[in-house]
Amino acid sequence: MNSLKKVATLLTVTAMASTLVACGPGASSSNANANTETVSKDLGDEKIELKLWDGAGLKAMDDALIKAFEAKYPNITVKATYDPDNVSAQNGPRVISASETPDVARITDMGSAVRGKHVVDLEEYAKLYDWNIPDSQTVNYRLTDSGELGSGDLYAVPDGFTMTGIFWNKKIAKQLGITEAPKTVAEFEADLQKAKDAGVQPMMASSKDAGIIHLIDGLIINENGVDAVRAWTQQRDGATIDTDGTAKAAQYIADWASKGYFPDGVNALDSSTALARFTKGEGLFFPAGNWYTSSVSEALGEDAGFIAVPPKTEGEGAGGALDGATPFGIPTNAKHKNAAAAFLNFLTTDEARQIAIDNGYAPLGEGEAKSDDPVMQSVLDTYAAFIKGGNTATHISNSTAGIQANALIPAIQELVDGSLKPADFGAEIQAKYADELGK
């Protein structure tokens, strides 16, 4: 009891002390080191060491980009550091707000980065270099003066795009008598049932982590319409995901689970296990994202393809999540802002576009995109359809920093095991979303 008393005293004393001092943690002077460099294309010929920070999963692509960039600017060397992918989102806000920041950094949470004034407004550079990037590709990186996502000034340039969809095993499909990819969600369900009847695993999936979220991503856009989902992912006032459309999307997942389309024990399966099993030939479909393209291609080659989550009616633009592989921004405390901007400008060149494609990502900007890899080509075709249809929003798991771990993963697990009613799915997510954003 003595120790409890001590703790209580400590609590009260600290509470009193902090009210007296009236000084909360987190001083707002973290931008003290921000230097003001006149915006310019001219990088001189002095040696510059540009520091870059990204997630480890993107090292291969970044290495290729850096090599090509350094060849163009001989006086610049880029020193890259990487954090493991599962912690880069947590470290991101600290990396860009430190007094010693990288010059070019992955911006993990756009909203807080801009609102905290931790990143540079890129509008002046956009004008200087005359960047011509389609709106659909920068919409997630624009913020208004009031800190609202979706329009306003540009704060990051992505190096390529990730998107969600479904890999399918054409060889298994052929054995089942399925000759082409499903064009509607009804056809998709028919194919799943065919596989089930033939004793083939209809879908390889995982819900211990984000796996099935990549499937419901597309379903939610198809059922709600892209505008509603965009408003929600952009954290607009009044936007909600607690809708009939979301309930329908959730109903699909619940039905597919109860019909046994997902593998046994899917709630204990993680993405890497699911990928391993799919690439070994288990499962007709595998909902995921194009970040697995090279793994799938290596294992299955021509036998695999990538499609969007099929829409309700044929010909309707399919919905899916589309997001930058790495949205690169320039931290406010960066030492070499002009050189950093030159790197961002390099991302818009054809050379950088090809590097993105070669690494399995959809390229920035418009224009022809071709690959020798058949799986990658199907990814690029899906991407072209996405851009044409315009039914893409950022991953729902990226709508807030905590939504994936805190709301989506548990809710989908409960949907799959039947403990959450599909009608309550939207409300569950919305409540956590509102709570996290303080709405």
Partner 1 sequence: MAERSSAHQQSAPAASSIDGKLAANKRKEQIKRAIRGYLFILPALLFYVMFELWPIIQTVWYSFYNWNGIDASTWVGFGNYIRVFTDSELFSSIGHAFYLIIFFSIIPVGLGLIIAALIKDVKSQMGKGFAQVCLFLPRVIPGAAAAVAWTWMLADNGTVNQMLKAVHLGGFAHTWLGDQSTALNAVGVIGCWLQLGFCIVLLLSGIGAIDQSLYEAASLDGAGWWRQLFAITIPGLRGQISVCFTMTIVAALASFDVVFMSTQGGPGTSTMVPGVQVYRLAFQQSRVGLASALAVVLMVMVLLVVGPLQRLIEGKKEA
Binding residues for partner 1 (CB under 8 A): 1-4, 7, 10-11, 14-15, 18-19, 22, 24-28, 30, 89-90, 93-94, 97, 109, 112, 115-116, 118, 207-209, 263-269, 400-402, 405-406, 409-411, 413-414, 416-417, 419-420, 436
Considering beta carbons, is residue 7 or 198 the nearer one to partner 1?
Answer: 7
CA dihedral of residues 242, 251, 244, 435 (deg, nearest 10): 0
> How is residue 151 annotated by DSSP?
S
CB of 132 to partner 1, least distance (A): 34
Considering beta carbons, is residue 220 or 409 the nearer one to partner 1?
Answer: 409
Considering beta carbons, is residue 116 or 319 the nearer one to partner 1?
Answer: 116
- Residue written as token pair 């039947």: 418
Q: Do residues 156 and 119 make contact, with C-beta atoms less than 8 angstroms apart?
A: yes
CB of 373 to partner 1, least distance (A): 32
Considering beta carbons, is residue 11 or 434 the nearer one to partner 1?
Answer: 11
Return contacts of 29-38, CB within 8 angstroms, 24+ apart. Answer: 30/97, 30/98, 30/99, 30/116, 30/118, 30/333, 31/117, 31/118, 31/332, 31/333, 32/99, 33/99, 33/100, 33/333, 34/332, 34/333, 35/335, 35/337, 37/336, 37/337, 37/338
Q: Residue 54 belongs to what H/E stretch?
A: strand 48-55
> How is residue 149 annotated by DSSP?
B
Considering beta carbons, is residue 138 or 207 the nearer one to partner 1?
Answer: 207
CB of 341 to partner 1, least distance (A): 24
Considering beta carbons, is residue 89 or 149 the nearer one to partner 1?
Answer: 89
CB of 228 to partner 1, least distance (A): 24
CB of 185 to partner 1, least distance (A): 26
Beta strands in 293-383 (DSSP E): 304-307, 320-324, 327-329
Considering beta carbons, is residue 27 or 71 the nearer one to partner 1?
Answer: 27
CB of 297 to partner 1, least distance (A): 27
Q: Do residues 383 and 362 make contact, with C-beta atoms less than 8 angstroms apart?
A: yes
CA 217 from chain center: how many Å? 11
d(CA 61, CA 82): 12
CB of 83 to partner 1, least distance (A): 12
